[in-house]
Amino acid sequence: MKPNVAAAKAALSHLDIEKSPSAIRAKSRDFFWYSPVLKARLDHVEADFVVAPRDEAEVIEVLATCYAHDVPVTTRGAGTGNYGQAMPLAGGCVMHLQNMNRVRDVQPGRVICEPGILLKDLDAHCRAHSGQEIRMFSSTWATATIGGFVAGGSGGVGSCTWGSLRDLGNIIRLRVVTMEETPRVLEFRGEELARVSHAYGTNGIITEIEMPLAPAYDWVELFVAFDDFAPAMDYAEGLGNEDGILLKLATVFEAPIAHDYFQRVRPHVAEGQSLVALMVAPQSMDGLLTFTARTPGARIVYRSDASDWEKAPGRIFEYTWNHTTLRALKVDPSITYLQVRYGFPDHKALVERIRAQFSPEVLQHLEVLRENGKAMFAGLSLVKFTTEDRLDEIVRAHEDAGAMIFNPHRYTLEEGGRQSVDDRQLAFKREADPKGLLNPGKMIAWDDPDWSYERMYAYPGLRAAE
Amino acid sequence: MKPNVAAAKAALSHLDIEKSPSAIRAKSRDFFWYSPVLKARLDHVEADFVVAPRDEAEVIEVLATCYAHDVPVTTRGAGTGNYGQAMPLAGGCVMHLQNMNRVRDVQPGRVICEPGILLKDLDAHCRAHSGQEIRMFSSTWATATIGGFVAGGSGGVGSCTWGSLRDLGNIIRLRVVTMEETPRVLEFRGEELARVSHAYGTNGIITEIEMPLAPAYDWVELFVAFDDFAPAMDYAEGLGNEDGILLKLATVFEAPIAHDYFQRVRPHVAEGQSLVALMVAPQSMDGLLTFTARTPGARIVYRSDASDWEKAPGRIFEYTWNHTTLRALKVDPSITYLQVRYGFPDHKALVERIRAQFSPEVLQHLEVLRENGKAMFAGLSLVKFTTEDRLDEIVRAHEDAGAMIFNPHRYTLEEGGRQSVDDRQLAFKREADPKGLLNPGKMIAWDDPDWSYERMYAYPGLRAAE
Ligand SMILES: Cc1cc2nc3c(=O)[nH]c(=O)nc-3n(C[C@H](O)[C@H](O)[C@H](O)COP(=O)(O)OP(=O)(O)OC[C@H]3O[C@@H](n4cnc5c(N)ncnc54)[C@H](O)[C@@H]3O)c2cc1C
Ligand SMILES: Cc1cc2nc3c(=O)[nH]c(=O)nc-3n(C[C@H](O)[C@H](O)[C@H](O)COP(=O)(O)OP(=O)(O)OC[C@H]3O[C@@H](n4cnc5c(N)ncnc54)[C@H](O)[C@@H]3O)c2cc1C
């Protein structure tokens, strides 16, 4: 089963094949380097060739050809993932979906599109055609694709209202091509969606997506400053519980994140101030202002609809979710991060416990998220990185305290998730990718069903650095 | 301060004055007769005259004239309230707002209209002009006005998502005319809204309303049957907690409500079956079906988008909220009801406790409602009425168990609410209605600040039956 890369590449040479070596290298990488752990392991990873199918028929051709020649295929949306999800650990083919960016249909409450469209272009299309937008998006809205979001993301801006991508109703339908001698085209809905959503393209390639839509309002973006962290957290959570105030975003930044890492915000907040970022529907602004006036110490420092800042901060969501990490990294390259679930009803107590133990080595960055109908927090904590051992120690302390960690310093589905295989994904991989050629090395259960998770998994097929 | 009704009526004779005595009687009544307690006390109540202003200027004229002649004014939307709210206890003038039914402006997320428009006409307008509808409506959508809903209602269809009318953001702005020598016109937003919303028109007349809007989907209406009550309750609550499934309604009916009182549903459910009524956005139907398939024993007996019923049930929301009581009353005139708050997180245990104690004398009818961000239940329990004493006993047993009662057998704001005055409403009444002429007898704190709530309040100014 040795891959015959040259034969596959030759057979696909009539397609849109990337010629430039530097582009091949760039298209083999994602934002894995946010993690010093992944950076140490994946920096050399590179595909043998990159092909960009123009439609589903060409996807089928790529998959069938690579199947015939035993060549691994790693699918790429825009490569903005953080865990090396889109990186071809065993080399072979990167299938880049940039050409598959058509919108097929927009209806009240739903859109059908190809996977390679950028989130921002999808939103622009839906807004122009129907005054609608997608319910939620990763903060990489401007650069990421909807297919990558569905296959590699979890939620984001909008999740304070709609929950996560995996929640029932947040994806309607996926059309999927398998990697077999003769690839099959399948349509998944309902319970079947879990087979391939957030499966990193390890068991099928999504060629069409039907997503629910919500109204596209001219969201008002705000920063609200607080002298202390706890009232900032209470305020954001309280807003998340106001059923009549329509939010798209509610984020908490522990001091001094805003002051130290948000350049344009810095003149407007003191070092000791914690900050809340919000996106609020215009019709909910009166409610928001009333709620804010009820909150002692809340000070609105920025309103996008009435700003006097000399330098506008840009879109506020680009301070939130994993953009917070990005901004911190730019100022202090020793910063990395953790992904934490602070579950209802202990979320606030848990945050305070972790804070007492680790601040300022770990600074709290919280996203209000709905889970099972309750507002709670997704933490994307900023961590001052020293050593891998210390990072592991911090992870363990979170877990001991009862905060679940989705470790962003791992490249496998299991380690970045709940440390166990998703049986539906594994079962579907057996059916849809019998040779195990799709994005190899990302599903431990496929490679090593008895893996114990005691240490970081190291994919044996990881191609060595040259 | 003896009212000079004749002088006021004469001074207003150029306006739209009701001439027919039977119409005057009809327009002096509401749905108070759902309560045997109120029926025994208010059946004779009648206005001296009914006037229907055409615009705000005429409202001002009515109020100034009645003020000058010390004539009480009770405002009427459509008179579908259940507590005698719109009934002129002391006689005088009923000011009927049927002529003030214009929509002034529809924008993304909001509408501005006059108070006398029917909810259904408001929705039809918003849908036709913008694909939108109001967030929530009383189940009297077809017959009630938006002004009456804001001044006398609490919530309804839509509250499983958006919470109650009183929640921040569910009313944007109210324009209010005071009852003074020279009436003032005021604009209320934010914190000020609580002065006049749900104040029964006791302290100001609403002449313009700005409400938030949501998208108008072609809601799919469903009935889902269960052999037992508890799984039906779990299912409805579970759906209320599915953040990605957009609901407008989730109602639970304990057996045998559906079988005994819902004529068209009866052929499709057994006597022992509990029923759930739903309104689900079309784009959420896959999610709904998936959730339902996960629920052992859930059987969809009706889907409005794929019905094989010989006789269609009509709009499903007209089985819910207080329409449940109406349907039961039609079959069994001895039925009355209670309004219960089953608060999170004990809501399900509380329901089961009350059920164990009182079923079938009290049958559970639950509406999933969001309160402070949590799905819980508003109960509009059906009660087999025997005596007032027994009804009071049942009320006390609920309160002792920890379930708050909003007593629908009382005509005052306080007794129908939390048994205490709303200070903001009282303070504003002092300002806006110095003579106490607006809807007299409905605010105990105005008449008798030291009232102890030990027994039912009896307004001393209630005009005696002739
Ligand atoms: C600054 C920053 C902020 C971020 N914020 C968020 C956030 O808020 N929420 C969030 O969820 N993520 C976030 N991420 C991660 C990432 O940006 C998002 O998940 C993004 O939506 C991924 O889209 P992409 O097109 O870049 O996908 P890629 O990185 O190209 O792919 C992601 C995964 O999906 C697979 N894949 C892509 N397309 C397909 C397809 N058609 N069929 C099958 N598999 C496919 C890839 O193989 C890969 O495993 C952030 C990353 C950065 C760098
Ligand atoms: C079968 C049935 C089902 C119902 N379901 C619900 C439900 O789901 N939710 C709910 O909340 N209620 C419900 N109700 C009660 C009632 O129908 C609603 O509250 C309805 O919205 C009232 O509207 P209306 O126009 O009939 O108001 P009215 O009964 O005319 O008035 C209600 C109160 O508001 C005052 N008022 C009216 N207009 C103004 C104004 N412009 N300015 C100041 N005061 C004013 C009146 O004086 C009165 O005190 C139900 C009633 C019935 C009979």
Structure confidence at residue B419 (pLDDT): 86
Asked if A241 is an interface residue toward chain B (Cβ–Cβ < 8 A), one would say yes
Q: What is the DSSP letter of A350?
A: H
- pLDDT tens digits, B1-43: 799 999 999 999 999 999 999 999 999 999 999 999 999 999 9
Burial of B466 (0-12, 13-18, 19+ CB in 10 A): exposed
Write the pLDDT tens digit of every residue in A200-227.
999 999 999 999 999 999 999 999 999 9
Which residue on chain B is closest to A371 by alpha carbon?
A: B243
pLDDT tier, B465 (very low <50, low <70, confident <90, very high otherwise): confident
Centre of ligand 2 to C-alpha B145, Å, is: 7
pLDDT of residue A269: 97
Mean pLDDT of chain B: 97
Are A286 and B375 inside 8 Å of each other by CB? Answer: no
A144-153, A457-466, B212-221: least confident range: A457-466
The verdict on residue A311 lying in a domain is yes
Q: Which residue of chain B has the CA closest to A194?
A: B290
| Interval B92-133: pLDDT, tens | 999 999 999 999 999 999 999 999 999 999 999 999 999 999
pLDDT exceeds 90 at position A420 = no
**B229-240 vs B285-293: helix crossing angle, rounded to 10:** 140
Residue B333 within a domain: yes
| Whether residues B116 and B193 fall in one domain | yes
Q: Answer whether A86's CB lies under 8 Å from A32's CB.
A: no
- Res A1: pLDDT: 74
- For residue A145, the CA-to-ligand 1 centroid distance in Å is 7
Residue A465 has pLDDT above 90, yes or no: no
Compute the average pLDDT of residues A305-333: 96
- CA dihedral sign, ordered B296, B301, B303, B308: positive
Whether B61 and B121 map to the same domain: the answer is no
The confidence band for B78, taking pLDDT boundaries of 50, 70 and 90, is very high
Q: Which residue of B has its CA nearest to A166?
A: B244
Q: Phi/psi of residue B186, each to 5°? A: -120, 155
Last residue of a domain, one of A374, A405, A436: A405
Same domain, B110 and B200: yes
List residues near ligand 2 (CB under 6 A). B 30-31, 74-82, 85-86, 97, 115, 138-140, 144-145, 147-149, 151-156, 200-201, 205-206, 321-323, 326, 439
Looking at the fold, whether A337 and A236 belong to one and the same domain comes out as yes
Distance (angstroms) between ligand 1 centre and the Cα of A410 equals 15
In contact, A146 and A125? CB cutoff 8 Å: no
Q: Mean pLDDT across the stretch A424-449? A: 96
Q: Is the pLDDT of residue B84 over 90?
A: yes
In this predicted structure, what is the pLDDT of residue B265?
A: 98
Residues A210 and A228 in one domain: no
> Does the residue B208 lie in any domain?
yes
Tell whether the torsion through CA atoms of B39, B44, B47 and B52 is positive or negative: positive
| Extended strands (E) in A135-246 | 173-177, 185-189, 205-215, 220-226
Instruction: Look up residue A9 and give its DSSP letter.
Output: H
For residue B245, report the distance from its CA to the centre of ligand 1, in Å. Answer: 24
Asked if omega into A360 is within 30° of 0 (cis), the reply is yes
Whichever domain contains B190, its CATH number is 3.30.465.10
Segment A274-299 shows an average pLDDT of 98
pLDDT number for residue B426:
96
Tokens describing residue B40: 């025994």
- Does B411 fall in a domain? no
Q: Does A182 touch chain B (CB under 8 A)?
A: no
Q: Residues A237, A320: one domain?
A: yes
* Phi and psi angles of residue B209, each rounded to the nearest 5 degrees, phi first: -135, 135
pLDDT tens string A103-148: 999 999 999 999 999 999 999 999 999 999 999 999 999 999 999 9
Q: Are residues B252 and B337 in the same domain?
A: yes
- Given this model, what pLDDT does residue B392 score? 94
Q: Is residue A460, in this structure, part of any structural domain at all?
A: no
* A360 and A257 housed in the same domain: yes
Residues in chain A, how many?
A: 466
**How many whole angstroms separate alpha carbon B114 and alpha carbon B97?**
9
Q: State which residues form the domain around B363.
A: 220-405
With b for 16 or more beta-carbon neighbours within 10 A and e for fewer, the B323-359 pattern comes to: bbbbbbbeeeeebbbbbbbbbbeebbebbebbbeebe
Average pLDDT over residues A58-68: 98
The DSSP call for residue B454 is S
Q: Is position A453 within any domain?
A: no
If you take atom 1 of ligand 1, which residue's CA is the nearest one? A323
Q: Are residues B240 and B379 in the same domain?
A: yes
Q: Which two tokens stand for residue A132?
A: 């609608």
Does a structural domain hold residue B410?
no
Work out the mean pLDDT of chain A and round it to a whole number: 97
Q: Which pLDDT value is given to residue A425?
A: 96
Binary contact (B167, A372; C-beta < 8 A): no
Shared domain for A114 and A81, answered yes or no, is no
Q: What is the mean pLDDT of residues A184-202?
A: 97
CATH code of B310's domain: 3.40.462.40
Confirm if B268 and B202 have CB atoms less than 8 A apart: no
Same domain as B175, residue B52: no
Number of independent structural domains in chain B: 3
| CA B355 vs CA A13, A183, B360, B398: distances in Å | 72, 57, 8, 10
Question: Given this model, what pLDDT does residue B325 score?
Answer: 97
Per DSSP, the three-state class of A278 is strand
Q: Is the overall model pTM greater than 0.80, yes or no?
A: yes
**How far apart (Å, rounded) are the C-alpha atoms in residues A34 and A13?**
34
Q: Give Cβ neighbours of residue B190 (< 8 Å, ≥ 6 apart).
A: A286, A287, A289, A290, A293, B168
Question: Quick one: B191 and B231 in the same domain?
Answer: no
Q: Which of A213, A242, A372 sits opposite B169 (nearest CB)?
A: A242
Of the listed ligands, the closest to the CA of B318 is 2
B304-317 average pLDDT score: 96
B129 — contact with chain A (CB < 8 Å)?
no
Percent of chain A with pLDDT strictly greater than 90: 97
Position A463 in a domain: no
- Of residues A208, A176, A206, A179, the one with CA closest to residue A8: A179
Q: Among the three residues A155, A187, A216, which one is the final residue of a domain in this structure? A: A216
- 3 state DSSP class of B97: coil
Q: Which amino acid is at A169?
A: G
Predicted confidence band at A418 (pLDDT cuts at 50, 70, 90)?
confident
Per mean pLDDT, which range of A165-174, A219-228, B373-382, B420-429 is the poorest? B420-429
Q: Are A350 and A384 in contact (CB under 8 A)?
A: no
Q: Using CA atoms, how far apart are residues B133 and A424, in angstroms rounded to an integer? A: 40
Q: How far is A373 from chain B (nearest CA, A)?
A: 4
Residue A31 confidence (pLDDT): 95
Is omega for the bond preceding B345 within 30 degrees of 0, making it cis? Answer: yes
Gyration radius from chain B CA atoms = 22
Judge whether A201 and A438 are in contact, CB under 8 Å. Answer: yes
Size of interface A-B (CB pairs under 8 A): 143
Query: B391, B277, B343: which is closest to B38 by C-alpha?
Result: B391
The pLDDT of residue B288: 98
Count of other CB atoms within 10 angstroms of residue B450 = 6
Tally of CB atoms within 10 A around A462: 18
CA pair distance A87, A30, nearest whole angstrom? 7
Test mutation, A165, A187, A247, A283, chain B, max B CBs within 10 A: A283
Residue A15 has what pLDDT?
Answer: 98
Q: What's chain B's length in residues?
A: 466
Strands (E), A135-184: 173-177
Residue range B358-380, pLDDT digits in tens:
999 999 999 999 999 999 999 99
Enumerate the residues of chain B whose CB falls inside 8 A of the CB of residue A168: 242, 244-245, 287, 290-291
**CB-neighbour burial class of residue A20 (10 A; exposed 0-12, middle 13-18, buried 19+):** exposed
Which 3 state secondary structure label does DSSP give B108? coil
Quick one: chain B helix, strand, coil %, rounded to 5?
35, 25, 45
Is 90 exceeded by the pLDDT of residue B418? no
Residue B84 belongs to a domain with what CATH number?
3.30.43.10
Nearest to B168 among A189, A191, A287 (CB): A287
Chain A hits for B190, Cβ within 8 Å: 286-287, 289-290, 293
